[in-house]
């Protein structure tokens, strides 16, 4: 589950690299990258990101992150500079 609370955006990345639990990586911008086109970090391994499977939005598939369609997270990215507060209920 995504933790509830108020968090500050600490970093943002366009076309982030994905690191799998086994340590393998998928470069940013690749269609198989599950992080999608943007990463908005608000905790050590938590954030808001896109997805390469938009049909799964609304299903509990992340490891605590907030997943969005790439076009939506790209819009949000422009409005959440580092230091912004994100509140999750």
Catalytic residues: 49, 65
Question: Which neighbouring-strand residues pair with 55?
Answer: none
Backbone torsions φ then ψ of 55, nearest 5 degrees: -70, -10
Sheet hosting strand 66-67, strand order edge to edge: 11-14, 38-43, 46-49, 66-67
């Amino acid at each position: 589950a995504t933790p509830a609370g108020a968090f500050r955006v600490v970093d943002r990345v366009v076309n982030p690299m994905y690191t799998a639990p086994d340590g393998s990586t998928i470069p940013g911008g690749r269609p198989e990258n599950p992080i999608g086109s943007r990463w908005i970090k608000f905790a050590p391994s938590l954030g808001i990101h896109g997805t390469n499977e938009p049909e799964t939005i609304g299903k509990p598939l992340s490891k605590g992150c907030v997943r969005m369609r790439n076009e939506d997270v790209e819009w949000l990215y422009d409005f959440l500079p580092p230091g912004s507060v994100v509140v999750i209920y």
